[in-house]
Structure 1
Amino acid sequence: MRSLRADFAALVGDLDRCGLGRGALEIARLAYPDLEPERYLARLEALADAARARIGAGMPPEDVALAVGDHLFGTCGFQGNTQDYYDPRNSFLNDVLDRRTGIPISLSVVFIEVTRRLGLPVEGVGFPGHFLVRVAGRRGPILLDPFFGGRPVGHDELVDRLRALHGGREVREIPPEAVRTARTPDILGRMLRNLLRAYLDRDDSPHALAAVDLLLVLIPDSPEDLRTRGFLYERLDCVTPAVADLRRYLELAPTAPAATDIRA
Protein backbone atom coordinates (compact mmCIF):
# COMPACT_ATOMS: atom_id res chain seq x y z
CA MET A 1 0.00 0.00 0.00
CA ARG A 2 1.19 3.49 -0.73
CA SER A 3 2.65 5.38 2.22
CA LEU A 4 0.15 8.09 3.17
CA ARG A 5 2.77 10.08 5.06
CA ALA A 6 5.21 10.04 2.13
CA ASP A 7 2.52 10.97 -0.37
CA PHE A 8 1.23 13.77 1.86
CA ALA A 9 4.76 15.12 2.34
CA ALA A 10 5.29 15.18 -1.43
CA LEU A 11 1.99 16.99 -1.90
CA VAL A 12 2.77 19.56 0.81
CA GLY A 13 6.01 20.31 -1.00
CA ASP A 14 4.07 21.14 -4.16
CA LEU A 15 0.82 22.67 -2.89
CA ASP A 16 0.86 25.54 -5.37
CA ARG A 17 0.46 23.03 -8.17
CA CYS A 18 -1.60 20.36 -6.40
CA GLY A 19 -4.09 22.71 -4.75
CA LEU A 20 -6.47 22.64 -1.81
CA GLY A 21 -8.89 20.06 -3.17
CA ARG A 22 -6.14 17.57 -3.89
CA GLY A 23 -4.70 18.13 -0.43
CA ALA A 24 -8.06 17.57 1.24
CA LEU A 25 -8.53 14.34 -0.71
CA GLU A 26 -5.11 13.13 0.41
CA ILE A 27 -6.25 13.63 4.01
CA ALA A 28 -9.29 11.47 3.24
CA ARG A 29 -6.93 8.54 2.68
CA LEU A 30 -6.78 8.31 6.48
CA ALA A 31 -10.09 6.47 6.20
CA TYR A 32 -10.08 5.54 2.51
CA PRO A 33 -6.57 4.33 1.63
CA ASP A 34 -7.56 3.33 -1.91
CA LEU A 35 -9.40 6.57 -2.69
CA GLU A 36 -9.04 7.82 -6.26
CA PRO A 37 -8.62 11.62 -6.08
CA GLU A 38 -9.26 12.21 -9.78
CA ARG A 39 -12.78 10.87 -9.44
CA TYR A 40 -13.64 13.53 -6.86
CA LEU A 41 -11.74 16.31 -8.58
CA ALA A 42 -13.96 15.55 -11.58
CA ARG A 43 -16.98 15.95 -9.30
CA LEU A 44 -15.79 19.44 -8.37
CA GLU A 45 -15.37 20.24 -12.06
CA ALA A 46 -18.93 19.08 -12.72
CA LEU A 47 -20.28 21.25 -9.91
CA ALA A 48 -18.44 24.24 -11.37
CA ASP A 49 -19.73 23.52 -14.88
CA ALA A 50 -23.31 23.40 -13.61
CA ALA A 51 -22.89 26.61 -11.59
CA ARG A 52 -21.45 28.40 -14.62
CA ALA A 53 -24.90 28.42 -16.24
CA ARG A 54 -26.10 30.73 -13.45
CA ILE A 55 -23.43 33.35 -14.05
CA GLY A 56 -24.02 36.20 -16.45
CA ALA A 57 -21.37 38.19 -18.29
CA GLY A 58 -19.98 40.99 -16.17
CA MET A 59 -21.69 39.76 -13.00
CA PRO A 60 -20.05 41.36 -9.91
CA PRO A 61 -17.90 39.03 -7.78
CA GLU A 62 -20.28 39.00 -4.82
CA ASP A 63 -23.18 38.08 -7.11
CA VAL A 64 -21.14 35.26 -8.62
CA ALA A 65 -20.39 33.96 -5.12
CA LEU A 66 -24.06 34.13 -4.13
CA ALA A 67 -25.07 32.36 -7.35
CA VAL A 68 -22.60 29.57 -6.60
CA GLY A 69 -24.02 29.38 -3.08
CA ASP A 70 -27.56 29.09 -4.44
CA HIS A 71 -26.43 26.26 -6.70
CA LEU A 72 -24.46 24.32 -4.08
CA PHE A 73 -26.72 24.82 -1.07
CA GLY A 74 -30.02 25.14 -2.88
CA THR A 75 -30.09 23.09 -6.06
CA CYS A 76 -27.47 20.51 -5.04
CA GLY A 77 -28.55 20.29 -1.40
CA PHE A 78 -25.19 20.68 0.35
CA GLN A 79 -25.80 21.49 4.01
CA GLY A 80 -24.19 21.69 7.40
CA ASN A 81 -24.38 18.51 9.45
CA THR A 82 -26.15 19.68 12.59
CA GLN A 83 -27.17 16.14 13.60
CA ASP A 84 -23.69 14.61 13.98
CA TYR A 85 -21.24 17.50 13.81
CA TYR A 86 -18.23 15.52 15.07
CA ASP A 87 -18.60 12.58 12.70
CA PRO A 88 -15.15 12.21 11.07
CA ARG A 89 -16.83 11.83 7.69
CA ASN A 90 -17.69 15.53 7.84
CA SER A 91 -13.98 16.26 7.37
CA PHE A 92 -13.36 13.97 4.41
CA LEU A 93 -13.90 15.76 1.10
CA ASN A 94 -14.99 12.59 -0.70
CA ASP A 95 -17.65 11.95 1.93
CA VAL A 96 -18.81 15.57 1.81
CA LEU A 97 -19.22 15.32 -1.96
CA ASP A 98 -20.99 11.94 -1.70
CA ARG A 99 -23.26 12.77 1.25
CA ARG A 100 -23.60 16.53 0.57
CA THR A 101 -23.16 17.35 4.21
CA GLY A 102 -20.21 18.58 6.22
CA ILE A 103 -18.87 21.08 8.71
CA PRO A 104 -17.89 24.71 8.07
CA ILE A 105 -14.36 24.03 6.86
CA SER A 106 -15.15 21.11 4.55
CA LEU A 107 -18.12 22.91 2.98
CA SER A 108 -15.84 25.93 2.58
CA VAL A 109 -13.34 23.76 0.70
CA VAL A 110 -16.10 22.74 -1.72
CA PHE A 111 -17.12 26.39 -2.15
CA ILE A 112 -13.53 27.58 -2.67
CA GLU A 113 -12.75 24.84 -5.16
CA VAL A 114 -15.91 25.43 -7.21
CA THR A 115 -15.50 29.22 -7.34
CA ARG A 116 -11.81 28.88 -8.21
CA ARG A 117 -12.78 26.85 -11.26
CA LEU A 118 -15.06 29.72 -12.27
CA GLY A 119 -12.21 32.23 -12.05
CA LEU A 120 -13.41 33.84 -8.82
CA PRO A 121 -10.74 34.07 -6.12
CA VAL A 122 -12.36 33.21 -2.79
CA GLU A 123 -10.30 33.06 0.41
CA GLY A 124 -10.73 30.84 3.40
CA VAL A 125 -11.01 32.67 6.72
CA GLY A 126 -9.98 30.85 9.88
CA PHE A 127 -12.56 32.48 12.14
CA PRO A 128 -12.40 30.98 15.65
CA GLY A 129 -14.69 28.02 16.00
CA HIS A 130 -16.37 28.39 12.61
CA PHE A 131 -14.57 28.56 9.27
CA LEU A 132 -15.81 31.14 6.71
CA VAL A 133 -14.97 32.31 3.19
CA ARG A 134 -14.33 35.80 1.86
CA VAL A 135 -14.98 37.32 -1.55
CA ALA A 136 -13.80 40.75 -2.73
CA GLY A 137 -17.05 42.64 -3.39
CA ARG A 138 -17.51 45.95 -5.18
CA ARG A 139 -17.80 47.84 -1.88
CA GLY A 140 -15.29 45.79 0.05
CA PRO A 141 -14.76 42.22 1.25
CA ILE A 142 -17.79 40.10 2.10
CA LEU A 143 -17.76 37.09 4.42
CA LEU A 144 -19.99 34.11 3.62
CA ASP A 145 -20.89 31.10 5.76
CA PRO A 146 -21.08 27.84 3.75
CA PHE A 147 -22.33 25.93 6.80
CA PHE A 148 -25.48 28.03 6.74
CA GLY A 149 -26.19 28.02 3.04
CA GLY A 150 -23.47 30.43 1.94
CA ARG A 151 -25.24 33.45 3.40
CA PRO A 152 -23.39 36.71 4.15
CA VAL A 153 -22.16 37.29 7.70
CA GLY A 154 -21.95 40.89 8.90
CA HIS A 155 -19.85 42.62 11.54
CA ASP A 156 -22.47 42.43 14.30
CA GLU A 157 -22.96 38.70 13.85
CA LEU A 158 -19.20 38.13 13.98
CA VAL A 159 -19.04 40.09 17.23
CA ASP A 160 -21.89 38.00 18.64
CA ARG A 161 -20.09 34.80 17.67
CA LEU A 162 -16.88 35.95 19.35
CA ARG A 163 -18.83 36.94 22.45
CA ALA A 164 -20.36 33.47 22.62
CA LEU A 165 -16.93 31.87 22.25
CA HIS A 166 -15.67 33.96 25.16
CA GLY A 167 -18.50 33.00 27.49
CA GLY A 168 -20.52 36.15 26.99
CA ARG A 169 -17.63 38.50 27.73
CA GLU A 170 -17.98 41.91 26.10
CA VAL A 171 -16.49 42.05 22.60
CA ARG A 172 -16.67 45.28 20.62
CA GLU A 173 -14.09 44.88 17.89
CA ILE A 174 -13.03 41.95 15.77
CA PRO A 175 -9.29 41.30 16.18
CA PRO A 176 -7.45 41.07 12.84
CA GLU A 177 -6.27 37.53 13.56
CA ALA A 178 -9.91 36.35 13.77
CA VAL A 179 -10.50 37.18 10.10
CA ARG A 180 -7.03 36.51 8.73
CA THR A 181 -6.78 34.72 5.40
CA ALA A 182 -6.21 30.99 5.81
CA ARG A 183 -3.60 29.68 3.39
CA THR A 184 -3.84 26.17 1.98
CA PRO A 185 -1.53 24.66 4.66
CA ASP A 186 -3.59 26.41 7.35
CA ILE A 187 -6.81 24.90 5.99
CA LEU A 188 -5.35 21.40 5.74
CA GLY A 189 -3.94 21.72 9.24
CA ARG A 190 -7.29 22.79 10.66
CA MET A 191 -9.01 19.87 8.93
CA LEU A 192 -6.48 17.49 10.47
CA ARG A 193 -6.97 19.00 13.93
CA ASN A 194 -10.70 18.48 13.62
CA LEU A 195 -10.07 14.85 12.72
CA LEU A 196 -7.56 14.39 15.53
CA ARG A 197 -10.08 15.73 18.03
CA ALA A 198 -12.84 13.50 16.64
CA TYR A 199 -10.68 10.38 16.81
CA LEU A 200 -9.43 11.16 20.33
CA ASP A 201 -13.03 11.63 21.48
CA ARG A 202 -13.79 8.17 20.07
CA ASP A 203 -10.68 6.60 21.66
CA ASP A 204 -9.58 5.63 18.17
CA SER A 205 -5.84 5.79 18.78
CA PRO A 206 -4.66 4.34 15.43
CA HIS A 207 -6.56 6.92 13.38
CA ALA A 208 -5.66 9.69 15.83
CA LEU A 209 -2.01 8.73 15.40
CA ALA A 210 -2.33 8.86 11.62
CA ALA A 211 -3.93 12.32 11.80
CA VAL A 212 -1.31 13.83 14.10
CA ASP A 213 1.42 12.24 11.98
CA LEU A 214 0.17 14.26 8.99
CA LEU A 215 -0.01 17.38 11.14
CA LEU A 216 3.67 16.94 11.89
CA VAL A 217 4.36 16.86 8.16
CA LEU A 218 2.84 20.35 7.99
CA ILE A 219 4.44 21.61 11.23
CA PRO A 220 7.41 19.32 11.95
CA ASP A 221 8.43 20.81 15.30
CA SER A 222 5.02 21.50 16.83
CA PRO A 223 5.53 20.74 20.54
CA GLU A 224 1.83 20.11 21.14
CA ASP A 225 1.62 17.61 18.30
CA LEU A 226 4.86 15.85 19.22
CA ARG A 227 3.54 15.38 22.74
CA THR A 228 0.21 14.06 21.43
CA ARG A 229 1.92 11.66 19.05
CA GLY A 230 4.26 10.50 21.80
CA PHE A 231 1.36 9.68 24.11
CA LEU A 232 -0.48 7.90 21.29
CA TYR A 233 2.60 5.81 20.52
CA GLU A 234 2.83 4.97 24.22
CA ARG A 235 -0.84 3.97 24.30
CA LEU A 236 -0.21 1.68 21.32
CA ASP A 237 2.87 0.13 23.03
CA CYS A 238 5.29 1.66 20.51
CA VAL A 239 7.91 2.55 23.09
CA THR A 240 10.85 3.68 20.92
CA PRO A 241 8.99 6.31 18.84
CA ALA A 242 7.09 7.43 21.97
CA VAL A 243 10.35 8.15 23.78
CA ALA A 244 11.78 9.95 20.73
CA ASP A 245 8.74 12.23 20.41
CA LEU A 246 8.55 13.05 24.10
CA ARG A 247 12.28 13.79 24.28
CA ARG A 248 11.91 16.15 21.34
CA TYR A 249 8.93 17.76 23.07
CA LEU A 250 11.05 18.40 26.17
CA GLU A 251 13.76 19.97 24.01
CA LEU A 252 11.27 22.33 22.39
CA ALA A 253 9.14 23.12 25.45
CA PRO A 254 11.31 22.53 28.54
CA THR A 255 9.29 24.88 30.77
CA ALA A 256 5.81 23.81 29.66
CA PRO A 257 3.50 22.65 32.48
CA ALA A 258 3.37 19.12 31.04
CA ALA A 259 7.16 18.84 30.91
CA THR A 260 7.51 18.06 34.63
CA ASP A 261 5.10 15.13 34.46
CA ILE A 262 6.79 13.76 31.34
CA ARG A 263 10.23 13.90 32.99
CA ALA A 264 8.84 12.06 35.98
Structure 2
Amino acid sequence: MGDRRMHLTDWNALTWLDDASLPLLDAALLIARDEYPDLDPTPYQALVQAHADHLREEVAAIEPCALKMAAINRHLFVELGYSGNHDEYYDPRNSYLNQVLERRLGNPISLAMVQMEVARRLGIPLDGVSFPGHFLVRLPVDGGLLVMDPFNGGRPLAVEELRERARPHLGEIPDDNVLLKILSPAPNRAILVRVLRNLHGLYAEAGQWDRAARSIDRVLKLTPEQPDAVRDRGLAYLELGYLPGARQDLGQYLQLAPEAGDAEQVREKLIEASATRTVLH
Protein backbone atom coordinates (compact mmCIF):
# COMPACT_ATOMS: atom_id res chain seq x y z
CA MET A 1 0.00 0.00 0.00
CA GLY A 2 2.85 2.38 0.73
CA ASP A 3 4.10 2.10 -2.84
CA ARG A 4 0.69 2.90 -4.26
CA ARG A 5 0.37 5.98 -2.04
CA MET A 6 3.74 7.13 -3.39
CA HIS A 7 2.24 7.19 -6.86
CA LEU A 8 -0.69 9.20 -5.57
CA THR A 9 1.51 11.98 -4.26
CA ASP A 10 4.01 12.27 -7.09
CA TRP A 11 2.97 13.07 -10.65
CA ASN A 12 6.57 12.90 -11.77
CA ALA A 13 6.73 9.24 -10.75
CA LEU A 14 3.96 8.41 -13.23
CA THR A 15 6.08 9.62 -16.15
CA TRP A 16 8.55 6.77 -15.79
CA LEU A 17 6.13 3.93 -15.13
CA ASP A 18 5.28 1.57 -17.97
CA ASP A 19 1.62 0.85 -18.65
CA ALA A 20 1.69 -2.44 -16.78
CA SER A 21 2.89 -0.65 -13.65
CA LEU A 22 0.68 2.43 -13.95
CA PRO A 23 -2.09 2.12 -11.32
CA LEU A 24 -5.32 3.14 -13.04
CA LEU A 25 -7.49 3.73 -9.97
CA ASP A 26 -4.79 5.50 -8.00
CA ALA A 27 -3.80 7.73 -10.91
CA ALA A 28 -7.45 8.60 -11.57
CA LEU A 29 -7.79 9.66 -7.94
CA LEU A 30 -4.62 11.69 -8.33
CA ILE A 31 -6.32 13.56 -11.18
CA ALA A 32 -9.26 14.20 -8.87
CA ARG A 33 -7.00 15.56 -6.16
CA ASP A 34 -6.03 18.43 -8.44
CA GLU A 35 -9.61 19.66 -8.09
CA TYR A 36 -10.20 18.33 -4.56
CA PRO A 37 -6.84 18.93 -2.81
CA ASP A 38 -7.94 17.42 0.52
CA LEU A 39 -8.98 14.16 -1.11
CA ASP A 40 -7.96 11.04 0.81
CA PRO A 41 -7.82 8.16 -1.68
CA THR A 42 -8.19 5.43 0.93
CA PRO A 43 -12.02 5.42 1.25
CA TYR A 44 -12.44 5.28 -2.52
CA GLN A 45 -9.95 2.46 -2.90
CA ALA A 46 -11.81 0.63 -0.13
CA LEU A 47 -15.18 1.24 -1.81
CA VAL A 48 -14.05 -0.30 -5.10
CA GLN A 49 -12.60 -3.24 -3.19
CA ALA A 50 -15.89 -3.62 -1.30
CA HIS A 51 -17.80 -3.79 -4.59
CA ALA A 52 -15.52 -6.63 -5.71
CA ASP A 53 -15.64 -8.44 -2.37
CA HIS A 54 -19.44 -8.37 -2.39
CA LEU A 55 -19.41 -10.17 -5.74
CA ARG A 56 -16.55 -12.56 -5.14
CA GLU A 57 -18.49 -15.63 -4.02
CA GLU A 58 -21.26 -15.19 -6.59
CA VAL A 59 -18.85 -14.66 -9.48
CA ALA A 60 -16.66 -17.60 -8.44
CA ALA A 61 -19.69 -19.92 -8.68
CA ILE A 62 -20.40 -18.89 -12.29
CA GLU A 63 -18.50 -20.65 -15.06
CA PRO A 64 -18.85 -18.70 -18.36
CA CYS A 65 -16.92 -15.46 -18.29
CA ALA A 66 -19.74 -13.59 -20.04
CA LEU A 67 -22.14 -14.56 -17.26
CA LYS A 68 -19.62 -13.49 -14.61
CA MET A 69 -19.57 -10.11 -16.31
CA ALA A 70 -23.36 -9.99 -16.38
CA ALA A 71 -23.39 -10.48 -12.60
CA ILE A 72 -20.90 -7.63 -12.15
CA ASN A 73 -22.94 -5.34 -14.37
CA ARG A 74 -26.14 -6.18 -12.56
CA HIS A 75 -24.56 -5.30 -9.21
CA LEU A 76 -22.96 -2.08 -10.38
CA PHE A 77 -25.65 -0.68 -12.65
CA VAL A 78 -28.84 -2.09 -11.14
CA GLU A 79 -28.27 -2.81 -7.46
CA LEU A 80 -25.81 0.01 -6.75
CA GLY A 81 -27.26 2.40 -9.32
CA TYR A 82 -24.18 3.55 -11.21
CA SER A 83 -25.39 5.28 -14.35
CA GLY A 84 -24.41 7.61 -17.14
CA ASN A 85 -25.12 11.26 -16.45
CA HIS A 86 -27.26 11.90 -19.52
CA ASP A 87 -28.75 15.12 -18.11
CA GLU A 88 -25.43 16.84 -17.35
CA TYR A 89 -23.01 15.04 -19.61
CA TYR A 90 -20.47 17.88 -19.60
CA ASP A 91 -20.36 18.34 -15.83
CA PRO A 92 -16.64 18.04 -14.91
CA ARG A 93 -17.59 15.97 -11.86
CA ASN A 94 -18.33 13.12 -14.29
CA SER A 95 -14.58 12.88 -14.90
CA TYR A 96 -13.41 12.96 -11.27
CA LEU A 97 -13.49 9.45 -9.87
CA ASN A 98 -14.14 10.46 -6.27
CA GLN A 99 -17.31 12.22 -7.43
CA VAL A 100 -18.30 9.30 -9.62
CA LEU A 101 -17.98 6.88 -6.70
CA GLU A 102 -19.91 9.21 -4.37
CA ARG A 103 -22.68 10.25 -6.75
CA ARG A 104 -22.74 7.03 -8.80
CA LEU A 105 -22.97 9.20 -11.89
CA GLY A 106 -20.33 9.49 -14.55
CA ASN A 107 -19.37 9.67 -18.18
CA PRO A 108 -18.42 6.65 -20.32
CA ILE A 109 -14.75 6.57 -19.39
CA SER A 110 -15.17 7.08 -15.64
CA LEU A 111 -17.85 4.40 -15.42
CA ALA A 112 -15.63 2.11 -17.48
CA MET A 113 -12.84 2.59 -14.95
CA VAL A 114 -15.14 1.55 -12.09
CA GLN A 115 -16.32 -1.46 -14.10
CA MET A 116 -12.76 -2.45 -15.03
CA GLU A 117 -11.36 -2.06 -11.54
CA VAL A 118 -14.08 -4.25 -10.03
CA ALA A 119 -13.83 -6.89 -12.76
CA ARG A 120 -10.04 -7.08 -12.59
CA ARG A 121 -10.16 -7.60 -8.83
CA LEU A 122 -12.27 -10.65 -9.59
CA GLY A 123 -9.81 -12.04 -12.11
CA ILE A 124 -11.80 -10.97 -15.17
CA PRO A 125 -9.62 -9.39 -17.90
CA LEU A 126 -11.87 -6.46 -18.74
CA ASP A 127 -10.18 -3.80 -20.89
CA GLY A 128 -11.13 -0.32 -21.97
CA VAL A 129 -11.59 0.64 -25.62
CA SER A 130 -10.89 4.14 -26.92
CA PHE A 131 -13.80 3.87 -29.32
CA PRO A 132 -14.66 6.96 -31.38
CA GLY A 133 -17.22 9.00 -29.50
CA HIS A 134 -17.99 7.04 -26.34
CA PHE A 135 -15.48 4.95 -24.43
CA LEU A 136 -16.38 1.25 -24.24
CA VAL A 137 -15.10 -1.92 -22.56
CA ARG A 138 -14.26 -5.34 -24.01
CA LEU A 139 -13.94 -8.88 -22.72
CA PRO A 140 -12.49 -11.85 -24.65
CA VAL A 141 -15.08 -14.65 -24.77
CA ASP A 142 -15.09 -17.93 -26.72
CA GLY A 143 -12.63 -16.75 -29.35
CA GLY A 144 -14.46 -13.47 -29.84
CA LEU A 145 -15.13 -10.21 -28.03
CA LEU A 146 -17.95 -9.08 -25.79
CA VAL A 147 -18.13 -5.29 -26.16
CA MET A 148 -20.17 -3.32 -23.61
CA ASP A 149 -21.31 0.24 -23.07
CA PRO A 150 -20.73 1.32 -19.44
CA PHE A 151 -22.56 4.61 -20.03
CA ASN A 152 -25.74 2.63 -20.67
CA GLY A 153 -25.72 0.05 -17.91
CA GLY A 154 -23.01 -2.16 -19.41
CA ARG A 155 -25.27 -3.11 -22.32
CA PRO A 156 -23.64 -5.51 -24.82
CA LEU A 157 -23.21 -4.08 -28.32
CA ALA A 158 -23.69 -6.07 -31.51
CA VAL A 159 -21.23 -5.78 -34.38
CA GLU A 160 -23.65 -3.82 -36.57
CA GLU A 161 -24.26 -1.27 -33.84
CA LEU A 162 -20.52 -0.84 -33.40
CA ARG A 163 -20.15 -0.24 -37.12
CA GLU A 164 -22.91 2.37 -37.06
CA ARG A 165 -21.39 4.11 -34.03
CA ALA A 166 -18.03 4.32 -35.73
CA ARG A 167 -19.31 5.49 -39.12
CA PRO A 168 -19.85 9.21 -38.31
CA HIS A 169 -16.29 9.45 -36.98
CA LEU A 170 -14.64 7.54 -39.83
CA GLY A 171 -16.76 8.78 -42.71
CA GLU A 172 -17.58 5.21 -43.71
CA ILE A 173 -18.70 1.91 -42.25
CA PRO A 174 -15.58 0.09 -40.99
CA ASP A 175 -14.82 -3.39 -42.27
CA ASP A 176 -13.81 -6.22 -39.93
CA ASN A 177 -10.12 -5.33 -39.89
CA VAL A 178 -10.71 -1.65 -39.14
CA LEU A 179 -13.28 -2.48 -36.48
CA LEU A 180 -10.93 -4.91 -34.75
CA LYS A 181 -8.22 -2.26 -34.73
CA ILE A 182 -10.61 0.26 -33.19
CA LEU A 183 -11.51 -2.32 -30.55
CA SER A 184 -7.89 -2.80 -29.44
CA PRO A 185 -7.40 -2.58 -25.65
CA ALA A 186 -6.57 0.91 -24.39
CA PRO A 187 -3.47 1.00 -22.15
CA ASN A 188 -3.88 2.64 -18.75
CA ARG A 189 -1.83 5.64 -19.83
CA ALA A 190 -4.09 6.24 -22.84
CA ILE A 191 -7.17 6.03 -20.61
CA LEU A 192 -5.80 8.60 -18.17
CA VAL A 193 -4.77 10.89 -21.01
CA ARG A 194 -8.30 10.70 -22.44
CA VAL A 195 -9.75 11.67 -19.04
CA LEU A 196 -7.42 14.66 -18.86
CA ARG A 197 -8.11 15.59 -22.47
CA ASN A 198 -11.84 15.58 -21.72
CA LEU A 199 -11.27 17.89 -18.75
CA HIS A 200 -9.06 20.20 -20.79
CA GLY A 201 -11.77 20.48 -23.43
CA LEU A 202 -14.48 21.23 -20.88
CA TYR A 203 -12.45 23.87 -19.09
CA ALA A 204 -11.19 25.51 -22.30
CA GLU A 205 -14.77 25.71 -23.58
CA ALA A 206 -15.79 27.37 -20.30
CA GLY A 207 -12.84 29.78 -20.40
CA GLN A 208 -11.43 28.35 -17.16
CA TRP A 209 -7.87 28.58 -18.42
CA ASP A 210 -6.17 27.83 -15.13
CA ARG A 211 -7.90 24.46 -14.97
CA ALA A 212 -7.41 23.89 -18.69
CA ALA A 213 -3.66 24.53 -18.32
CA ARG A 214 -3.49 22.23 -15.29
CA SER A 215 -5.26 19.38 -17.10
CA ILE A 216 -3.05 19.56 -20.17
CA ASP A 217 0.07 19.88 -18.02
CA ARG A 218 -0.87 16.53 -16.48
CA VAL A 219 -1.14 15.06 -19.96
CA LEU A 220 2.47 16.09 -20.47
CA LYS A 221 3.46 14.36 -17.24
CA LEU A 222 2.11 11.13 -18.74
CA THR A 223 3.24 11.71 -22.34
CA PRO A 224 6.17 14.18 -22.35
CA GLU A 225 6.65 16.32 -25.46
CA GLN A 226 3.37 15.22 -27.01
CA PRO A 227 3.04 17.97 -29.66
CA ASP A 228 -0.68 18.71 -29.39
CA ALA A 229 -0.49 18.86 -25.61
CA VAL A 230 2.52 21.21 -25.74
CA ARG A 231 0.55 23.47 -28.08
CA ASP A 232 -2.59 23.40 -25.96
CA ARG A 233 -0.69 24.25 -22.79
CA GLY A 234 0.99 27.13 -24.61
CA LEU A 235 -2.37 28.48 -25.76
CA ALA A 236 -3.76 28.19 -22.23
CA TYR A 237 -0.71 30.02 -20.87
CA LEU A 238 -1.28 32.77 -23.44
CA GLU A 239 -4.89 33.16 -22.27
CA LEU A 240 -3.65 33.38 -18.69
CA GLY A 241 -1.03 35.99 -19.59
CA TYR A 242 1.85 33.71 -18.64
CA LEU A 243 3.90 34.77 -21.61
CA PRO A 244 7.26 33.06 -20.91
CA GLY A 245 5.46 29.71 -20.69
CA ALA A 246 3.39 30.48 -23.79
CA ARG A 247 6.49 31.37 -25.80
CA GLN A 248 8.32 28.25 -24.64
CA ASP A 249 5.47 25.86 -25.44
CA LEU A 250 4.36 27.39 -28.73
CA GLY A 251 7.96 27.54 -29.94
CA GLN A 252 8.50 23.93 -28.92
CA TYR A 253 5.33 22.87 -30.75
CA LEU A 254 6.61 24.42 -33.96
CA GLN A 255 9.89 22.55 -33.52
CA LEU A 256 8.11 19.25 -32.85
CA ALA A 257 5.51 19.64 -35.63
CA PRO A 258 6.77 22.20 -38.16
CA GLU A 259 4.50 20.89 -40.92
CA ALA A 260 1.35 20.72 -38.78
CA GLY A 261 -1.84 21.99 -40.37
CA ASP A 262 -2.18 24.70 -37.74
CA ALA A 263 1.48 25.75 -37.76
CA GLU A 264 0.74 29.16 -39.28
CA GLN A 265 -1.93 29.95 -36.68
CA VAL A 266 0.40 28.87 -33.90
CA ARG A 267 3.16 31.12 -35.32
CA GLU A 268 0.72 34.02 -35.12
CA LYS A 269 0.00 33.17 -31.47
CA LEU A 270 3.74 32.95 -30.80
CA ILE A 271 4.21 36.42 -32.31
CA GLU A 272 1.37 37.66 -30.10
CA ALA A 273 3.03 36.14 -27.01
CA SER A 274 6.36 37.69 -28.00
CA ALA A 275 4.96 41.15 -28.74
CA THR A 276 2.84 41.44 -25.59
CA ARG A 277 4.41 42.75 -22.43
CA THR A 278 4.05 40.79 -19.24
CA VAL A 279 1.84 42.72 -16.85
CA LEU A 280 2.73 42.44 -13.18
CA HIS A 281 -0.13 42.63 -10.70
* Partner SS for 1:142: strand
- Other structure's SS at 1:257 match: coil
Are the aligned partners of 1:30 and 1:207 in contact in 2 as well (CA < 8 Å)?
no
The reply on whether 1:67 has 2:84 as its aligned counterpart is: no
Equivalent pairs, count: 259
The Cα of 1:164 is off from its aligned counterpart by 3.7
Alignment partner for residue 225 of structure 1, among 213, 229, 238?
229
State the Cα distance separating 1:263 from its structure 2 match: 3.0
1:157-204 Cα distance to aligned partner (Å, 9 max, x none): 1011112445xx541525133111100001001111111111111111
Question: Residue 76 of structure 1: CA displacement?
Answer: 0.1
Q: Give the Cα separation in 2 of the matches to 1:97 and 1:134.
A: 22
Contact 2:9–2:30 (8 Å) recurs in 1? no
Taking the TM superposition and a 5 Å limit, the aligned residue runs for 1:56-95 are 56-95=60-99
Match of 1:37 in 2: 41
Runs of 4+ off more than 4 Å:
none
Q: Aligned with 1:206: secondary structure?
A: helix
Contact kept? 2:8, 2:29, Cα under 8 Å? no
Instruction: Call closer, same or farther: CA 1:36–1:13 in 2, change over 3 Å.
Output: farther
Q: Which residue of 2 aligns with 1:7?
A: 10
Give 1:113 shift. Answer: 0.2
Which fold has the larger relative contact order, with Cα–Cα distance below 8 Å and residues 6 or more apart in sequence? 1
The one-letter amino acid paired with 2:173 is V
Alpha-carbon distance between aligned partners in 2 of 1:84 and 1:6, rounded to the nearest angstrom: 30
Q: Contact 2:84–2:108 (CA<8 Å) still a contact in 1?
A: yes
Q: Amino acid of the residue matched to residue 70 of structure 2?
A: L
What residue in structure 1 maps to residue 272 of structure 2?
Answer: none
Measured in 2, the distance between the counterparts of 1:145 and 1:100 equals 16
1:261 corresponds to 2:247: no
Q: 2:160 maps to which residue?
A: 156
CA contact (8 A) 2:62 2:68 kept: no
Separation of aligned partners in 1, 2:87 and 2:124? 32
Cα distance in structure 2, aligned partners of 1:240 and 1:172: 45
1:11 aligned partner, one-letter code: L
Gaps of 5+ in 1: none
After TM superposition, the structure 1 = structure 2 runs for residues 1-264 of structure 1, keeping only pairs within 5 Å, are 7-14=10-17, 16-17=20-21, 19-166=23-170, 169-174=171-176, 175=178, 176-264=180-268
Shift of 1:139: 4.6
Q: Is the 8 A contact 1:89 1:95 kept in 2?
A: yes
Offset at residue 6 of structure 1 (A): 7.5
Answer whether contact 1:5 1:213 (CA < 8 A) is retained. Answer: no
Report the Cα offset of residue 106 of structure 1. 0.5
The CA deviation at 1:20 is 0.8
Q: What residue identity is the alignment partner of 2:14? A: L
The percent identity for this pair of structures is 42
Confirm or deny: 8 A CA contact 1:62 1:138 kept in the other structure.
Answer: no
CA 1:37–1:13 in structure 2 vs 1: closer, same or farther (change >3 Å)? Answer: farther
Q: TM-score, normalised by structure 2?
A: 0.87
CA distance in 2: counterparts of 1:239 and 1:9, whole angstroms: 24
Letter of the 1:182 counterpart: A
How far apart are the structure 1 equivalents of 2:15 and 2:220? 11
